[in-house]
Amino acid sequence: MTVLLVLTMVSIFLLIDFFSEKKKKVESLRSTGLSPTAWRYLHETGVAPNHTWLRPDPDGLVTMGIDHFLCGLVGSPDAITLPRAGNRIDAKSGTIEIQKDGKVLHLFPPIAGHVISVNTELLRNPKGIGRDPYGAAWCLKILPDDPVIRNVFQIPTSVEWIRTQLDKAKEFLANKDTGDGILEPVFLQDGGLPVDGALTGFDKEVWREFEEEFLCLGKSVERSRKAVLS
């Protein structure tokens, strides 16, 4: 009887611990704006310091896309420009362009290689990029020069990094003028996540500054290395 009671108590404590850890995980994901679907994709995905992501495919190719942090800030772009299939790309060529209201953000691929295919559906419907950024809204299929993917963060490191990027973006946009002399809230009060399309209300100069601060691959890699070493 005593043994049965002890086993019952141990089982209860294990269940409490299990649900407590599950709650912490859900709260952690919510703080980064990650959906459960995005989290499942991220288990096989690395996020680069310029907010592109890479995922190795079984056929030796690498799928590349744009992370949910940037998709959320841009909202529903008017157009997305991708390198053409057959083109060679690297950190200095083969930009992805995100366009909204005459403003443009430029993203360079974090790996070198040849573009094998592009997501034509994304070109036709760029506004849907934020609905499934790690799945249906992929951008490119790349045959990499080096099969080892470098300059990316693996899970769970990328989750922590995304959280720091959200804090950094909040600070960056906090005092930016939208052009009409009015400072508008760009982050939700509940949890501090960005309002969908928060970046779109700002002018070209803010977009240029944002690109310089968050999307320049070389500088972002160097900052990330310093952060790891510090």
pLDDT in tens, 203-225: 999 999 999 999 997 665 555 44
The pTM assigned to this predicted structure is 0.77
CA distances from 29 to 72, 95, 142, 195, 229 (A): 15, 30, 29, 17, 25
Angle at 57 between CA 143 and CA 42, to 5 degrees: 120
In 46-156, alpha helices (H) = 68-74, 120-124
In contact, 95 and 73? CB cutoff 8 Å = no
The count of C-alpha atoms lying within 13 angstroms of the C-alpha of 60, restricted to the half-sphere facing its C-beta, is 7
Measure the CA–CA gap between 88 and 92, rounded to whole angstroms.
11
The residue ranges of DSSP E strands in the chain, in sequence order, are: 46-47, 52-56, 62-66, 79-81, 88-89, 96-100, 103-107, 113-118, 140-144
pLDDT at residue 156, as a whole number: 72
- For the record, the structure tokens of 94 come out as 């083969």
Q: Which domains does the chain have, with CATH numbers?
A: 38-230 (2.40.50.100)
Residue 164 has pLDDT above 70, yes or no: yes
- Using the structure block, give the residue that is written with the tokens 């499942």: 40
CA distances from 50 to 5, 7, 17, 107, 185 (A): 55, 51, 37, 7, 24
Measure the CA–CA gap between 72 and 126, rounded to whole angstroms.
13
| Residue 9, helix vs strand vs coil | helix
Contacts 24+ apart (CB under 8 A), 42-45: 42/134, 42/155, 42/158, 42/159, 43/155, 45/134, 45/155, 45/158
CA distances from 134 to 13, 64, 89, 98, 144 (A): 36, 9, 21, 17, 19
pLDDT at residue 5, as a whole number: 53
Rounded to the nearest 10°, the torsion over CA 62, 194, 206, 216 is: -20
pLDDT at residue 45, as a whole number: 86
Across the range 93-121, mean pLDDT stands at 95
How would residue 44 be classed by pLDDT, with cut points 50, 70 and 90?
confident
| Residue 63, helix vs strand vs coil | strand
- Using the structure block, give the residue that is written with the tokens 């290689």: 113
- Report the mean per-residue pLDDT for the chain: 78
List CB contacts of 84: < 8 A, sequence separation 6 or more: 115, 118
The partner residues of 96 in beta bridges, in order of sequence, read 107
